[in-house]
Amino acid sequence: MSKQVGFIGLGRMGEPMALRLVAAGYELVVYDVRPESVAALTAKGALAAASSAAVASAVDTVLLSLPTPPIVREVALGAGGVASGSKVKTVIDLSTTGASAAREIAAALAAKGITAVDSPVSGGVAGAVAGTLAVMVAGPRALCTELEPMLAVFGKVFFVGERPGMGQTMKLANNLLSATAMAATAEAVVFGVKSGLDPSVMCDVINAGSGRNTASMDKVPRQVITRKFAQGFATGLMYKDVRLCLEEAEAAGVPMSVAAGVRALWARANEELGADSDMTAIVQLIERAAGVEVKSK
């Protein structure tokens, strides 16, 4: 494939991923509604385009890293969007949108002769910077094989299926577990602190025991106990992922009673802490009710 690619959405995840592509020798044509995000890329040699359509008129392969399904739909198919570009042949969506949106967008793009590839990612901002993300690719196998060297710049590439949306289903299953681990670990640690335990000691024990998970190993020690709350994943986006997972599980006829409780807690976090708060701040809901803070003694 050509070493010239487009990148739309240069946020917490998109910026470090786009920078890795530049460092790997790809020539990027970029667009974001926030000019300061574009400047971070042009400073490293990327070309700025005036719109999503302009990106798609300059290159045949366009990557998207955007917040929500409605925004992905608008950028892909709306006025001034990717589908109105003259050169684009492949759109790779790195965002988390859910399978139904991915299928719908893929069908609308196919009608214009453009192939959609799902490629949601997991591993957070740190993984995006280090190139250690899990990359969940779904699309025509030959095309995915052709794209693999480029996607490998982001981390470990897993081909999960040919049908549009299969990568998204994989990602929602992963994020349900991540959201559950954060919520449940917050409850467990606040319970321990209220009862007199040190949260750092608690994490050490949990991480040597059977409760070990991504929150006990990483998020609670690095972001909660330090009171930094700077994991880099917004509460509103995590709430979106849990909501999408439950909607799609319900449509698939799969009961999810644990997930329903997890969604209720993330809904409260979104409401009370705000969609832009860091997802690790969810612990504050439980701290407030318990009247303690998770800090080292």
Instruction: Look up residue 84 and give its DSSP letter.
Output: G
Instruction: Look up residue 113 and give its DSSP letter.
Output: T
CA distance 85 to 53: 5
What are the φ/ψ torsions at residue 197 (nearest 5 degrees)?
-80, 155
Nearer residue to ligand NAD within complex by CB, 147 or 172: 172
Token readout for 223 is 């972001």
Nearer residue to ligand NAD within complex by CB, 79 or 208: 79
For the bound state, the minimum distance from the C-beta of residue 291 to ligand NAD, rounded and expressed in Å, comes to 30
Nearer residue to ligand NAD within complex by CB, 135 or 202: 135
Nearer residue to ligand NAD within complex by CB, 52 or 235: 52
Nearer residue to ligand NAD within complex by CB, 18 or 114: 18
Give the residues lining the site for ligand NAD (CB under 6 A).
8-14, 31-34, 37, 52, 65-67, 71, 74-75, 95-96, 121-122, 124-125, 232-233, 237
Nearer residue to ligand NAD within complex by CB, 74 or 218: 74
End-to-end CA separation in angstroms for the chain: 55
For the bound state, the minimum distance from the C-beta of residue 285 to ligand NAD, rounded and expressed in Å, comes to 20
Token readout for 278 is 């860091």
For the bound state, the minimum distance from the C-beta of residue 238 to ligand NAD, rounded and expressed in Å, comes to 8
Token readout for 202 is 């608690």
90 DSSP β-pair partners:
61, 115
For the bound state, the minimum distance from the C-beta of residue 204 to ligand NAD, rounded and expressed in Å, comes to 25
Catalytic annotation on 171? yes
For the bound state, the minimum distance from the C-beta of residue 290 to ligand NAD, rounded and expressed in Å, comes to 27
- 274 with 235: CB under 8 angstroms? yes
Sign (positive or negative) of CA dihedral 218, 261, 93, 271: negative
Sign (positive or negative) of CA dihedral 190, 196, 199, 205: negative
Sign (positive or negative) of CA dihedral 182, 201, 229, 127: negative
The secondary element (H helix, E strand) that includes residue 206 is helix 199-208
Q: Residue with CB nearest ligand NAD?
A: 11
Task: Label residues 173-207 b or e (16+ Cβ within 10 Å = b).
Answer: ebbbbbbbbbbbbbbbbbebbeeeeebeebbeebe
The secondary element (H helix, E strand) that includes residue 43 is none
- 199 with 296: CB under 8 angstroms? yes
For the bound state, the minimum distance from the C-beta of residue 126 to ligand NAD, rounded and expressed in Å, comes to 9
User: Of residues 87, 171, 219, 240, which has the active-site annotation?
Assistant: 171
List active site positions. 171
